[in-house]
Structure 1
Amino acid sequence: MQDSEQLLLKGREALETGELDLAARLFRQALEANPESAEVHEALGEALAEQGKTGEARKHLEKAVALDPDNLDARYALGDLCFEEGQAQKALDIYRAILDRAPDEADAWVSCGLVHFHLEDMERAENCYLKALAIDADSVFALNSLGDVYYAQGRSEEAVANYRRVVEIDPEDAQAHYNLAEICYDTGDLALAEKECREALRLDPGFSFAYMTLGNLSLDQENPEQALDWFQKFLLHERSTGAKDIRDEVAAVVAGLKDELGRQA
């Protein structure tokens, strides 16, 4: 029988390649070999969360934190899961607990900011992002998120400056390219919007919302066949529970396009 560490390593390799069922199975085997390992509980929790098994995932992540209170990765994963499930205050409490243990943890400040942004408290969100940047001026996580606040406030030039700063720091940051695509789309520069979306997908083929924006661009350009293809790719790649409403909307558009194209055939 393989030991816990070997199973954990193989499980992580499976998780990285998107083999979620295999990853979860290997992590469960690792847990049988070492039931008190915070690291294994954390890994299994993350795999289950990816599978959409949020209730079971939460139990394993909570167990990981209980076994090792200094395991910040498990705390982040638990906070992210709560946030995705719509438990904003619980997520905020978890991120704040990380800051209680590690005040210079820039990502925890950004995560707090994301919760405030979700709650439409832009002032608090901006303050959190600025605190993160005071710790790490080159944090692409914070710069992208601060750009989102500026964009939501109508401060488009400042938003673009933040996103371009991210691309300077990390040219392969798919999120920044997508953010630029969204601004270009909203301002009517459809050619550049498409270019940035395609770049985001080149860097990250699983970037689901880039497919959706490309679908919208195709509709604007009166190309329903291409739009249908992009929207179907969005539905294929977007699996998060927090995006259910958007998935439902896109699924309705897909059904309408199929009906329209069927009538034209």
Structure 2
Amino acid sequence: MNRQERRRQEKLRQKTLSDQDLKNPQIMLEKGFAHQQAEEYEVATELYTQVLAIDAENADAHHMLGAIAYAQGQHEVAFERISEALKIDEQNAGYWTNLGNALKELDRIEDAVKAYENALAVNPEFTVAAFNLGNLYRETDELDKAIFAYQRALEVDGDYAEAWLNIGTAYQAKGDNEGAETAYSRTVALDPEYPDAHNNLGNLLIDLGRHDEAEAAIDKALALAPEFPDAFFNKGKLAEAKGDSEAAKISYTKAVELDADFDDAKEALAKLG
């Protein structure tokens, strides 16, 4: 067999393998997920649709189509797709969690809570469900419930930096400064490169009158994220607390330049005149 014939046979073999792959739902799901991760949603959607043409009861394909719809802001479609997945497999905590995410975006708050709780009933150690439940409660100002939900996540994974950060914001909103400082400090210890953790700690320290520590924390946040509007806002807040109105104006102005919808920064500027 000459070189040209060997190449022809190799191409034929590769094509045959590809054709076989397209008849294997699991391989198609894996390829679809790779495209989905790369935000190549059209290709991923086509692959998941092909899976359903072969196996209409493939829960993962329904769920992934829902995840794509959610990523594209189509929350009603996401709800419908993920609901189809749950009709097939109601013992999947990930499905319930993503259903909760879609319901939250549809402002169906009570249903979202039920979905997250269902996820935790299926798998009590599914930390994402507890974390998302905490976020929902925090955003609806049910702070005690938010703290309890974050604690559920942290009982499973004590190194969950995002949960420590968010439980800190809940403590701070409740006026529990000691709890907030402990949580933010824990976040920084777990992830020293987390700008939000340094910024939130700085914000708390301003309120506690510990200005030097606050400045160090905010400067660290800006060193990690030089275009962080919230950190510039806190830098302005700190300058104002120290009586330096001009420096405060500069920082608030920078915050607004970075985020034109930053109402708190606009209000702070207006008050300074």
Matches within 5 A, 1:116-265: 116-184=137-205, 189=211, 191-192=215-216, 194-198=218-222, 201=225, 210-214=228-232, 217=235, 221-223=248-250, 226-232=254-260, 247=261, 249=263
Query: What is the TM-score when the length of structure 1 is the normalising length?
Result: 0.69
Alpha-carbon contact 2:255-2:262 (below 8 Å) kept: no
* Off by >6 Å, runs of 4+ in structure 1: none
Alpha-carbon contact 1:180-1:196 (below 8 Å) kept: no
Alpha-carbon contact 1:215-1:229 (below 8 Å) kept: no
CA RMSD of aligned residues (A): 3.5
Alpha-carbon contact 1:109-1:129 (below 8 Å) kept: yes
Q: Distance in 1 between matches of 2:112 and 2:33?
A: 28
Query: What is the TM-score when the length of structure 2 is the normalising length?
Result: 0.67
Residue 33 of structure 1 corresponds to 50
Q: Distance in 1 between matches of 2:145 and 2:104?
A: 17
Query: Relative contact order (C-alpha < 8 Å, sep 6+): which is higher?
Result: 1
Aligned residues: 229
Please give the per-residue CA displacement for 1:142-188, whole angstroms capped at 9, x wherever unaligned: 32232122101112232121111122223344543343244356557
Q: 1:5 aligns with which of 29, 41, 54?
A: 29
Please give the per-residue CA displacement for 1:26-78, whole angstroms capped at 9, x wherever unaligned: 22201221113332332332232222121222222222222332332222112
Q: CA deviation at 1:196?
A: 4.4
Q: 2:115 aligns with which of 94, 97, 109?
A: 94
Question: Residues 135, 248 of structure 1: CA spacing in aligned structure 2 closer, same or farther, 3 A cutoff?
Answer: closer
Q: Distance in 1 between matches of 2:202 and 2:190?
A: 18
Q: Distance in 1 between matches of 2:31 and 2:174?
A: 48
Alpha-carbon contact 2:92-2:119 (below 8 Å) kept: no
Question: Residues 81, 176 of structure 1: CA spacing in aligned structure 2 closer, same or farther, 3 A cutoff?
Answer: farther
Alpha-carbon contact 1:8-1:26 (below 8 Å) kept: yes
Alpha-carbon contact 1:212-1:231 (below 8 Å) kept: no
Alpha-carbon contact 2:83-2:99 (below 8 Å) kept: yes
